[in-house]
Structure 1
């Protein structure tokens, strides 16, 4: 990536303040970390495979070899899914934090994932034979409905504030989780839904990736295009209005992109929280407050986090696997408590 292109993209004033060299360095190390983590995740699992076997299977796939079949049909799709969906959750969190000006915003914490999961539970109970494309669409609709409910609860009376938004999200998430559990128990779906509650990429196959990957990549590209406006909104409502930003439209577009990313991801891997909370804060520390930089860096770091979480979930007690959501929560819960304590101290 050429420095001149980035300067033209950001504008001279933003480019000089953001630190282009630092941004390029962060991108380079994030890409290197993602490539390394993906290669390790493909290499290690219940069956030990040599690094040379993995490399040969990726470059020259031979369907007659069992080791190549394991890599190509089982490990590659789950690792690619972890990378793509980790990027999706991270970018969704970054957008939510930017357009709501809430540092605690995340698709899981605000109840958006719970809405998507609730719709999946309804599908399993009443329409068990739906194709994956329909399940993805309904999961997105669940995310939208829960988001509307959260904003309705959080905005009255007295207007929408970060604290009201967080509390409304927690209430809606608790309600939807309770309803989902009740339906699952009544219709004896507990075993089928255990995967969706805990989260995991083991069930993702190539035909799932063919559907979800293009949608996620387009949504991430649209999110980057919104980066400048989101950066201005994050400075404050008055500043954004004075600079001519149509705040309502940008908020709607930003939340729409975040809901697409969260809803599609939940339909594939279940409800995985905290990726969208932790990663944008790390990206902000690395590249500053410009969301044109935060969003792509968040995408890469989110991909690295979920790939490593999936690898750790497989390696803790092989051949059994822990839920990937548990591994992410081990990082996310302490980070959330730290942020909540810091925000309370700043009030």
Structure 2
């Protein structure tokens, strides 16, 4: 009997390597960023064609109305880029520090502190200008985050992820109660505050951007350099200590960058939700758990979401606008629910 000749198995297509996936994801992020910037400059109540857009940027004519529209949208686009990059970078770092996939600026009481400071400035000092809101919001956000970290640091174990989350939730609830008490008793304060509270990048000129730009750049520099620190913390406190890392000091450095970024971004654009929460999960899909890659790509992808939300808000309710903070909440919540249910995100 002749022996059966084995039939060679069909080759199984090789899975794309991590490097190829990372390269493809980076190219897509950069392409999306360019497209979002172009849409932010061209789309609105008065749309502008691509050719006119290029002319307005390369050969500006003050007498041309379309050119003037493009130039007027540049500060708004710049505010979206800076705010989005800050929120994405801070969100990724915050999830790494807290080792909590649901971490966002609210977990450190940043939004609550900024909001209460703005309410106090309106009610007590009579401040109604954006330039005043910026400094009030920044100081309030920084003070609230510092208070959370100090409370969480009490005890032998220091600022553990669970204690940070609990302290942040407790402070957010307390500050929110005080803020609501003030707003209920003052209609004028409520009217002035509600326009800042929804979160928006419209009406932010170069003056407002210039006031927070030094803080944004400093926060980005500090946070972008914490990739290896966050990789160590993601292994757990005991493992990080065994590798020679000073856990308390590492968390303090990361928290400093997060506070500066969140405070400056919240001061500039108001409390915008879901950007810092959703973006790191999307980035992990093609970078893996390495924070040296997650941080810079989160800073590049987050402005895409924020600018896209701002552009969508300009056209869904013409001739009016829907603020970017409302659009990010409407679009970000379903995406995040899908990410959680799919269980495909890499571990923290």
Which TM-score bucket, shorter chain as reference? 0.7 to 0.9
Q: Secondary structure at the match of 1:174?
A: helix
Determine if contact 1:104/1:336 at 8 Å carries over to the other structure. no
Determine if contact 2:84/2:275 at 8 Å carries over to the other structure. yes
Worse-matched range after superposition: 321-330 or 131-140: 131-140
Determine if contact 1:216/1:261 at 8 Å carries over to the other structure. yes
Which position in structure 2 is the counterpart of 1:55?
54
- Residue 36 of structure 1 and its aligned partner are, at CA, apart by 0.6
Which position in structure 2 is the counterpart of 1:199?
199
* Residues 318, 137 of structure 1: alpha-carbon distance in 2 compared, 3 angstrom cutoff: same
Superposition CA RMSD, Å: 2.7
**CA displacement 1:29-69 (0-9 Å, x = unmatched):** 21111011110121111112222222211222222332222
Match for residue 146 of structure 1 among 137, 144, 147: 144
Which position in structure 2 is the counterpart of 1:226?
226
- Residue 337 of structure 1 and its aligned partner are, at CA, apart by 5.2
Which position in structure 1 is the counterpart of 2:288?
288
Which position in structure 2 is the counterpart of 1:6?
none
Which position in structure 1 is the counterpart of 2:310?
310
* Residues 326, 134 of structure 1: alpha-carbon distance in 2 compared, 3 angstrom cutoff: closer
Which position in structure 1 is the counterpart of 2:125?
127
- Residue 162 of structure 1 and its aligned partner are, at CA, apart by 4.2
Match for residue 105 of structure 2 among 100, 104, 107: 107
Q: Secondary structure at the match of 1:273?
A: coil
* Residues 314, 253 of structure 1: alpha-carbon distance in 2 compared, 3 angstrom cutoff: same
Unaligned runs of 5+ in 2: 1-16
Unaligned runs of 5+ in 1: 1-17
Q: Distance in 2 between matches of 1:163 and 1:238?
A: 15
Aligned residues: 325
Q: Distance in 2 between matches of 1:144 and 1:208?
A: 18
Determine if contact 2:281/2:339 at 8 Å carries over to the other structure. no
TM-score (norm 1): 0.84
Q: Secondary structure at the match of 1:89?
A: helix
Structure of higher CA gyration radius: 2
TM-score (norm 2): 0.84
Higher share in helix: 1
Worse-matched range after superposition: 118-127 or 239-248: 118-127
Q: Distance in 1 between matches of 2:89 and 2:269?
A: 16
- Residue 236 of structure 1 and its aligned partner are, at CA, apart by 0.9
Q: Secondary structure at the match of 1:181?
A: helix
Q: Distance in 2 between matches of 1:91 and 1:293?
A: 11
Q: Distance in 2 between matches of 1:26 and 1:301?
A: 10
Determine if contact 1:115/1:142 at 8 Å carries over to the other structure. yes
Which position in structure 1 is the counterpart of 2:179?
180
Q: Secondary structure at the match of 1:108?
A: helix
